[in-house]
Structure 1
Amino acid sequence: MKIGLFFGSYNPIHVGHLIIANHMVEYSDLEEVWLVVTPHNPFKKKSSLLEDHHRFQLVLRATEDYAKIKPSNIEFGLPQPNYTINTLIHLEEKYPQHHFNLIMGLDNLYSFPKWKNYEKILEDHELYVYPRISMNMSSPDLLSHKNVHVIEAPIVEISSTFIRKAIKEKKNIRALMPHNAWIYLDEMNFYK
């Protein structure tokens, strides 16, 4: 099975994440998309994150009604900070019947050469890249690589940072989150 891995802090998950994941599984050759909840992104401060199990619970609830979109906490048991190459090796050993690929925004493709062992990732895995309207830079060289596929997905400019800030300001952002995830977040009084 061809799996797309959509890594993220999901702090919290929002409808933009689901729009991209659903578009990738419906309009590319990916058969499933796994939303991989990352305990600690090496480029982010860990102190700003909700606890791992709460972010996973949000993703779990958000994906309940999507047969081809699965939550994954595979990185929770791996050494931190998490590096994508290590996660890919672990997944290949655990699920040899699957072929794993990465889903990322165009903004991440620009920083991709900074990733640990990025050449090895690109050699062994395909990258499914979605556009970001906020990108003003010239096209990265990697766009012409045989394993990079640009998917004309909807451009969604919602961020978890915006949602956290809006909640602190007592704004109603319910429409920006999957319903079941919003209920959990509201019940737990997160980000207030």
Structure 2
Amino acid sequence: MKIGLYFGTFNPIHVGHLIIANHIAEYSDLDQIWMVVTPHNPHKQKNTLLDDYHRLEMVHLATKNYPKIKPSDIEFKLPQPNYTVNTLAHLQEKYPNYEFALIMGEDNLNSLHKWKNYEVILENHDIYVYPRLNSGVMDEQFINHPKIHRVGAPVIELSSTFIRESIKHGKNVRALLPENVWAFLDHNLFYRK
């Protein structure tokens, strides 16, 4: 089985995340997409980052009607701060019969050369890249790399930051969130201040 790992804080998960995950699940050779909720980095100020388990619950709510998309808390159990290369090694050990790939936006691909042991990641894992506006100039080494696959997913320019700020200022952003995620946020008064 080939699993695509879509990492994020998902603070909150929104329809843009689901559109991209579902498009890649339906239009690539990946069998499943795991939405990997990134835990709070203890070296960063917490600010508006909701508790890890609240964000995991939102991913559960958002993906329950998508059989090919699963929430994952795999990084909750790993030492912090965590690096993608370590998560991949842990997953490969835990699920030796699965093949793991990464899903990222073009903007993240442009900074891949700064990641810890990025050469190891590229050597052992495919990367599925979705388009972003203003993603900058592509690093030469990644343009025709055999492990990097461009996916013609819709361009979604929607951010969790925009959603949090909008809620804080009393705006109705219900249309930008899965209905059950909106209900969860609204019930708990998250991001209100």
TM-superposed CA distance for 1:41, in Å, is: 5.6
What TM-score does the superposition give when structure 1 sets the normalisation length?
0.96
Compute the displacement of 1:46 (Å): 3.8
* Deviation at residue 134 of structure 1 after TM alignment: 2.7
Describe how 1:1-192 pairs up with structure 2 within 5 A. 1-40=1-40, 45-135=45-135, 137-141=136-140, 142-192=142-192
Aligned residues: 191
- 1:40 positional shift: 3.4
CA 160–38 in structure 1, closer or farther in 2 if over 3 Å, else same: same
> Residue type matched to 1:119 in 2?
E
CA distance in 2, matches of 1:174, 1:103: 26
- Unaligned 5+ segments in structure 1 are none
**Residues 125 and 43 of structure 1: CA distance in aligned 2, closer, same or farther (over 3 Å):** farther
User: How many angstroms apart in 2 are the aligned matches of 1:19 and 1:167?
Assistant: 21
Q: Quote the Cα distance in structure 2 between the aligned partners of 1:181 and 1:113.
A: 35
* Alignment TM-score, normalising by the size of structure 2: 0.95
State the secondary structure of the residue aligned to 1:103. strand
In structure 2, distance between residues paired with 1:46 and 1:122: 31
> Against the structure 1 CA distance between its residues 86 and 27, is the aligned structure 2 distance closer, same or farther, given a 3 Å change threshold?
same
* Poorly superposed stretches of 4+, deviation over 4 Å: 41-45
Q: 1:44 to 1:110 in 2, by over 3 A?
A: farther
Change (3 A) 1:80 1:184: same
Contact 1:22–1:69, Cα closer than 8 Å, also in 2: yes
